[in-house]
Amino acid sequence: AALMRDRNIGSLFVSRGNEVIGILTDTDMVRRVVAVGLDASKTPVEQIMSAPILTIEENRTLLDANDMMAGSHLRHLGVARDGKLVGMISVRDLVVFLTNLPRK
């Protein structure tokens, strides 16, 4: 939680060795730690993360990403290149992008 706060981000990939095994989001923290009274300093990330990560290939459109998020009720998608996870896109990313588009 402190890392997300310090970097002003709402999610982090969770890895074991070189393998990404899940995603931890601010929503996971609220629903699975705070709301049930767990001690965040003693709760393993693996216990509260979301897995597996839903991914979208990097050559797909923003509309495709939006549709995937809406259809799966998720706010984050992993971005893959040739099936390998290379990044993340969030609802916040979409909103920022659309907000910065030139207006007619």
* pLDDT tens profile 9-46: 889 999 999 999 999 999 999 999 999 999 999 999 99
pLDDT band at 104 (very low <50, low <70, confident <90, very high): confident
The single-letter DSSP state of residue 33 is I
With a cut of 90, say whether residue 52 has pLDDT above it. yes
Residue spans in the chain of domains classed CATH 3.10.580.10: 1-53, 54-104
Q: What predicted TM-score, i.e. pTM, was given to this entire model?
A: 0.83
Cα separation, 32 vs 38, in Å, equals: 8
Q: Which CATH number fits domain 1-53: 3.80.30.20, 3.10.580.10, 3.40.50.300, 2.60.120.330?
A: 3.10.580.10
